Amino acid sequence: MAVYTDVGAEELAAFLDDYDVGQLLSYKGIAEGVENSNFLVNTSVGHFILTLYERRVAAKDLPFFLALMEHLHARGITCPQPVTNKAGEVLGKIARRPAALITFLDGMWIRRPSAAHCAALGDVLARLHLAGLDFGKRRANALSVDDWRSLYESCRDRANKLQRDLEPFLASELARLEKEWPRNLARGVIHADLFPDNVFFLGNKLSGLIDFYFACTDALAYDIAICLNAWCFETDHSYNVTKGSSLLQAYARVRPLSGQERDALPLLARGAAMRFLLTRLVDWFDVPAGALVRPKDPLEYYRKLRFHQKVRGVRDYGIAEK
Amino acid sequence: MAVYTDVGAEELAAFLDDYDVGQLLSYKGIAEGVENSNFLVNTSVGHFILTLYERRVAAKDLPFFLALMEHLHARGITCPQPVTNKAGEVLGKIARRPAALITFLDGMWIRRPSAAHCAALGDVLARLHLAGLDFGKRRANALSVDDWRSLYESCRDRANKLQRDLEPFLASELARLEKEWPRNLARGVIHADLFPDNVFFLGNKLSGLIDFYFACTDALAYDIAICLNAWCFETDHSYNVTKGSSLLQAYARVRPLSGQERDALPLLARGAAMRFLLTRLVDWFDVPAGALVRPKDPLEYYRKLRFHQKVRGVRDYGIAEK
């Protein structure tokens, strides 16, 4: 949960004067988004989310994220859209922070996704990847294989405190991932953080995607690997092949997976687990002062990574080799 | 800010099945309320606040609070109203906690109240006191003079760490308050926590009051003393007599203050400052684990208390002695 910055009513009313969004009726700081401060804003014309970008989000990346939301929405991917102010800008400033007013998306995230939810996710993920193909901006993934070593270095000294022999485990896995990481897969825009809390449903129908602040240009199949990690394990960290199969089959119906992508998937899944294991480890040992955030359990991803290490091929995830 | 308890979409939809409030469209945990977990719930028929009562609020007091909101609303005090479920109850249960669905109130709280805001507050406070006169339930104030000694005992050892000689200051002030506390003033329902963040405005018009979870039966003038502390000091802790006068005059126009109440006001203001100084001190030294709350500065109320100690009579607050 996160509201790092307080915004006063007087200040917000002045900010909204720059937009054609009617009269401010109410606003509440909401417990959503770890990187930013978010407010739900109700005006006489509707609901909006006001996002204040805190220091952890690089200001130079904001135009990429905001333009991507507009691009995807225009191509039929339901996601929040930045509202343009009277000066024609989507990025404003409030409380000395860059800020955007964004349309509100109905829907709730599912705590215990079923195979049907995973199928809906696979479908929208493939459509997102296709919709992103003609997006003009590029942004390197700042949390991919080339960035993991520095994360590892920053937490290796303390890793064994959390789990016996975690440090050598990380070292050996990292060396392997760096050596074998596939560099020639189909690339494009990926969401890179499509966890259940970023996918809204109304009833059983997927109603939209949110939180594009990790989106970047990378291997499309890596996005699938992230989703397999985030959606297809049970709370006891066992892999549910029915959910995995639903996700993968639904994806492949919209965007067929190449043989190369299928071959690479087990390694990509290991990499995705490694990425969340490392960032959670760093956060675990280094909760920023005043962040008011409970760090997430890193070992969840250690256990997932151990599963991926035992996988013999993509068939173990629930889809055929070719 | 507070969301102590997570509520899943599936769980919330099941809870709302017991109410006639249409289809659940979205909900967000909101950063409001230190004692409870609060969610803003949007359905096809409107907005609501779902409050989960955490352990700090005694379950036995909930009927008092909820009935009071209904009582005051029926008498023209704009405040949230608990929604009755299909079984005719206002109190339900979700995530193993007592919970109430409450109507949403438009409006924003004012960070820097002006004298006009203070006048609006004085007016509504007097109307609240009058509206409460025929409320049938009683609830003792759990944070009044008789309760301060145990608060003091629980933090006296550490008080001097925060401010030199704070411990003897508290001891001497507490002894005097216990000795001189007025016991024969007009009593009734008081809000007891009517800080600016519990008073909503739309433009310059007061649009409603929220957060009745400290409401109780006590001296009406003590509620005024709390408001003088909470509304009429500048950020440098100096008393603004224009604001105080606006509040008191507006109050007295609706409910005239007796000579006894006027005489007692300086001591009541000292007591009110003492109450917030003590509870903030306790919170300062004892932030509950996982509360994700930044404790408020106790010394703000030390400085206000020092002001009140120098007051010679009610005239210093901006209203005549009789």
User: What would the pLDDT profile of B25-62 be if each residue is shown by its tens digit?
Assistant: 999 999 876 678 999 999 999 999 999 998 777 789 99
* C-alpha to C-alpha distance for B81 and B90, rounded to whole angstroms: 9
Examine the pLDDT at A87 and tell me if it is beyond 60: yes
What angle, rounded to 10 degrees, do the helices at A62-74 and A115-131 form?
Answer: 100
Q: Does A295 touch chain B (CB under 8 A)?
A: no
Question: From A105, which residue of chain B is nearest by alpha-carbon distance?
Answer: B26
pLDDT-based confidence at residue A4 (cuts at 50, 70, 90): confident
Over residues B228-249, the pLDDT tens digits come to 999 999 999 999 999 999 999 9
Over residues B10-24, the pLDDT tens digits come to 999 999 999 999 999
Mutate to test the interface with B, among A11, A16, A25 (most CBs of B within 10 A): A25
Structure confidence at residue B293 (pLDDT): 58
Q: Which amino acid is at A119?
A: A
As beta bridge partners, residue B53 has B36
A230 and A300 Cβ atoms separated by less than 8 Å = no
Structure confidence at residue B158 (pLDDT): 92
* C-alpha to C-alpha distance for B200 and B180, rounded to whole angstroms: 35
As beta bridge partners, residue A99 has A52, A92
Question: Which segments within chain B are labelled E, that is strand?
Answer: 24-30, 36-43, 46-53, 92-94, 97-103, 108-109, 187-190, 199-202, 205-209, 216-219
Structure confidence at residue B1 (pLDDT): 40
What residue spans in chain A does CATH classification 3.90.1200.10 cover? 115-317
Which of A25, A104, A108 is opposite residue B27, by nearest beta carbon? A108
Question: Which of these ranges, A2-11, A70-79, A289-298, B59-68, has the smallest mean pLDDT?
Answer: A289-298
Examine the pLDDT at A291 and tell me if it is beyond 70: no
Structure confidence at residue A171 (pLDDT): 98
- Per-window interface: B 140-159 vs A, CB < 8 A: none
**Inter-chain Cβ pairs, chain A and chain B, closer than 8 A:** 89
Cβ–Cβ gap A108/B9 under 8 Å:
yes
Superfamily of domain A115-317: Aminoglycoside phosphotransferase (APH), C-terminal lobe (3.90.1200.10)
User: Sign (positive/negative) of CA torsion A100, A102, A108, A114?
Assistant: negative
* C-alpha to C-alpha distance for A186 and A268, rounded to whole angstroms: 13
Question: Which of these ranges, A86-100, A139-153, A216-230, B278-292, has the smallest mean pLDDT?
Answer: B278-292
Which of B25, B30, B112 is opposite residue A28, by nearest beta carbon? B30
Question: From A10, which residue of chain B is nearest by alpha-carbon distance?
Answer: B110
Over residues B261-311, the pLDDT tens digits come to 999 999 999 999 999 999 999 988 876 555 555 678 999 999 999 999 999
Q: Does B91 touch chain A (CB under 8 A)?
A: no
Structure confidence at residue A308 (pLDDT): 98
What residue spans in chain A does CATH classification 3.30.200.20 cover? 9-103
If you search the block for the tokens 């006191």, which residue do you land on?
B129
Which of A10, A30, A292 is opposite residue B28, by nearest beta carbon? A30
ipTM field? 0.85
A141 and A218 Cβ atoms separated by less than 8 Å = yes
Over residues A155-202, the pLDDT tens digits come to 999 999 999 999 999 999 999 999 999 999 999 999 999 999 999 999
Q: Classify domain A9-103 at the CATH topology level.
A: Phosphorylase Kinase; domain 1 (3.30.200)
Examine the pLDDT at B81 and tell me if it is beyond 70: yes
Token couple for B221:
């003038």
Structure confidence at residue B32 (pLDDT): 75
Q: Does A201 touch chain B (CB under 8 A)?
A: yes
* C-alpha to C-alpha distance for B298 and B163, rounded to whole angstroms: 10
* C-alpha to C-alpha distance for B255 and B127, rounded to whole angstroms: 8
Q: In chain A, what residues touch B42 (CB-CB under 8 Å)?
A: 47, 106
| Mean pLDDT along residues A192-220 | 96
pLDDT-based confidence at residue A1 (cuts at 50, 70, 90): very low
User: Sign (positive/negative) of CA torsion B287, B293, B297, B302?
Assistant: negative
Q: In chain A, what residues touch B24 (CB-CB under 8 Å)?
A: 108
Q: Which amino acid is at B94?
A: I
CB-based contacts of A182, cutoff 8 Å, min separation 6: A219, A260, A264, A267, A268
pLDDT-based confidence at residue B192 (cuts at 50, 70, 90): very high
What angle, rounded to 10 degrees, do the helices at A259-285 and A166-180 form?
Answer: 140
Stated pTM of the model? 0.88
Superfamily of domain B109-317: Aminoglycoside phosphotransferase (APH), C-terminal lobe (3.90.1200.10)
Q: Does A210 touch chain B (CB under 8 A)?
A: no
pLDDT-based confidence at residue A292 (cuts at 50, 70, 90): low
Structure confidence at residue B287 (pLDDT): 67
* C-alpha to C-alpha distance for A318 and B290, rounded to whole angstroms: 39
Structure confidence at residue B2 (pLDDT): 54
Q: What does B166-192 look like in DSSP terms, one character per residue? A: HHHHHHHHHHHHHHH----S-EEEE-S
pLDDT-based confidence at residue B101 (cuts at 50, 70, 90): very high
